[in-house]
Amino acid sequence: MRSRTKLWLVMLISVASSIILFLVTMFVSGSLWDKGYSLNILNTISQETRALISEVQAPGKEQIQPILDTVHQQHPELRLEWVAADGTVIYDTSHEPERRYDFAELAYRVANMPNNMWGENAPITLVYTESVNGNPFYLILNLHGEAMKMGQFFFYVRTNESLIFIFLPLLWLLLLPYLSSLWYFSSINRRIGKLNHALAQVGLRQEVVVLHDKSKDEIGELARHYNAMAKRIHDQAAEIEQFDSRRRLLLSNLSHDLRTPLTMILGYAETIRTHSYKEGDELQNHARIILQRSRYMDSLLDQLLDITKQDSNVYEFKPVSVSVSELIRKVAADYFLFLDGQNIEVDVDVPEEFDSVALVDASLIERALRNLIDNAIRYGSGGQYLGIAIVRHEEWISIYVKDRGKGIEPEYLNRIFERFYRVDDGRRGEGLGIGLSFVRDIMELHCGQVLVSSKPNKETVFELRFPKRA
Ligand code: ADP
């Protein structure tokens, strides 16, 4: 059942049950706990008494006395008087001496009626007329205020139209709280409905439905949480999409990058096989190109392997105590040879007496360092400078790799560590965008970090920072 229907049902049941409860409580408690006479009871007593009197032949004392005495015995709080039209008291159950009411006395007793009925302990007098054999007589009922009920609730209805004035306000009294609660719950229901609808729309490829619920209550808070969540999902979906397209681009670049050197290798190998080269120098040259291209393919395949390792999150991490300075010197020596004659100044600052023993996985740190140096050569060669340095701090060791090339614009600095991210995606033949993310993973394994700062064409510095005891 929908909550709107439930709401209406609950409201109708509540209205009906509150009316029933109101009436039952009033009548039951009134009759159980509020003993005493009400105007209705007095009227009924008078009616029954007058009915008995109307049956007698002559309304004299002898005939009236037994009737009034019987009523008095049943209701000792009541004093009953039977009075003739001229004011003569024919019979009085309190047996006062025979007398005759004059107009002033009678008027005085009934003058404050019915107000006396609501008074605390005022005497109450009710006068009823009765015609016997065509002559008018009066039955006077007297009782003390204390004998009456503590309170009484009644409507006075002379004509049916008056019911409008009684029931219309009563209807408001009863319905207004329910109607206002119904309105309030309906508005909550509407807001929940909107939230429901918006939640049903959430999806990776769906447009985000933004809720404009500014109220400070729980539903407003929920709507704000929903907005934040939907935006997060949307942003993450966009990121995944971007990531996916970068991965696709990488694969297409990779197949191109592998095919080009392979074609060259095949071509030069064929010339060697068929002896179609002219002299020994040309053979050397072909062999050098084959070697160079094969190394390049080897490095691409290495990177592919890194991607697989990252995907399955299996790194072999075996930390041992090693001298990081030694490791840097060994790597730097390789690059000295490689860069010989390439017009790049190589500056290695690794002090001899330096104690740089740290608990690290030497092969992983070497991979990270080589990645940074390769990047410095590949992207920063324009600055014709490569700097490698080591600095020992109290708790950690930092390895710096510097170049003075084109550098990295500030907006890309945070992104270059993402997988497959390359500042210039369109370029081929330079890398897969995996190197720095691999460096970041290696540093995390060592409880360290990789930091970067760059002033394009002045200095770009990458720092590998790791604790001495990882
Ligand atoms: P790849 O080198 O395979 O593209 P990396 O993760 O190693 O991937 O580097 C990501 C990007 O960061 C590179 O595409 C390059 O644009 C930029 N980058 C890295 N090192 C440098 C550097 N020393 N100078 C300028 N740009 C760099």
Nearest to 49 by CA among 119, 140, 165, 177: 140
Q: Which residue segments constitute the domains of the chain, with CATH numbers given?
A: 35-150 (3.30.450.20), 315-467 (3.30.565.10)
Positive or negative, the CA dihedral 31, 37, 42, 45 is positive
Q: How far does the centroid of ligand 1 lie from the alpha carbon of residue 408, in Å? A: 8
Q: Is residue 105 predicted with pLDDT exceeding 80?
A: yes
Positive or negative, the CA dihedral 139, 144, 149, 150 is positive
Percent residues over pLDDT 90 in the chain: 39
Pocket test for ligand 1, best of 374, 416, 452 (most atoms within 8 A of CB): 416
Q: Is residue 100 predicted with pLDDT exceeding 80?
A: yes
- The residue nearest atom 20 of ligand 1, judged by CA position, is 375
Closest approach atom of ligand 1 to CA 437:
6
Region 213-230: mean pLDDT is 91
For residue 12, the model assigns a pLDDT of 87
Closest approach atom of ligand 1 to CA 406:
25
What confidence tier does 385 reach under pLDDT thresholds 50, 70, 90? very high
Q: Is residue 470 predicted with pLDDT exceeding 70?
A: no
For residue 459, the model assigns a pLDDT of 96
- The residue nearest atom 19 of ligand 1, judged by CA position, is 375
Pocket test for ligand 1, best of 375, 388, 415, 441 (most atoms within 8 A of CB): 375
pLDDT digits (tens, 9 = 90+) for 323-337: 999 999 999 988 887
From the number of C-beta atoms within 10 Å of its C-beta (0-12, 13-18, 19+), residue 397 rates as buried
Q: Is residue 54 predicted with pLDDT exceeding 80?
A: yes
Task: List, chain by chain if needed, residues with CB within 6 Å of any ligand 1 atom.
Answer: 375-376, 379-380, 403, 405, 407-408, 416, 421-423, 430-437, 460
Closest approach atom of ligand 1 to CA 375:
20
Outline where 391-434 has alpha helix (H).
Answer: 410-413
Q: Is residue 427 predicted with pLDDT exceeding 70?
A: no
Query: pTM of the full predicted structure?
Result: 0.54
Report helix, strand and coil shares of the chain as percent, to nearest 5.
Answer: 55, 15, 30
Q: How far does the centroid of ligand 1 lie from the alpha carbon of residue 351, in Å? A: 28
Q: Which residue has better confidence, 466 or 469? A: 466
Q: Give the chain's mean pLDDT.
A: 87
Rounded Cα distance between 366 and 233, Å, is 38
Closest approach atom of ligand 1 to CA 371:
7
Q: Which two tokens stand for residue 449?
A: 């970090």
Closest approach atom of ligand 1 to CA 436:
6
Q: Which residue has better confidence, 68 or 299? A: 68
pLDDT digits (tens, 9 = 90+) for 151-185: 877 777 888 888 888 888 888 888 888 889 889 88
Pocket test for ligand 1, best of 253, 388, 436 (most atoms within 8 A of CB): 436
What confidence tier does 20 reach under pLDDT thresholds 50, 70, 90? very high
| CB contact set of 290 (below 8 Å; sequence gap of 6+) | 264, 265, 268, 269
* 148 residue type, one letter: M
Q: Is residue 8 predicted with pLDDT exceeding 60?
A: yes
Cα separation values, 299 from 305, 306, 421, 432, Å = 10, 10, 18, 11
Q: Is residue 442 predicted with pLDDT exceeding 80?
A: yes
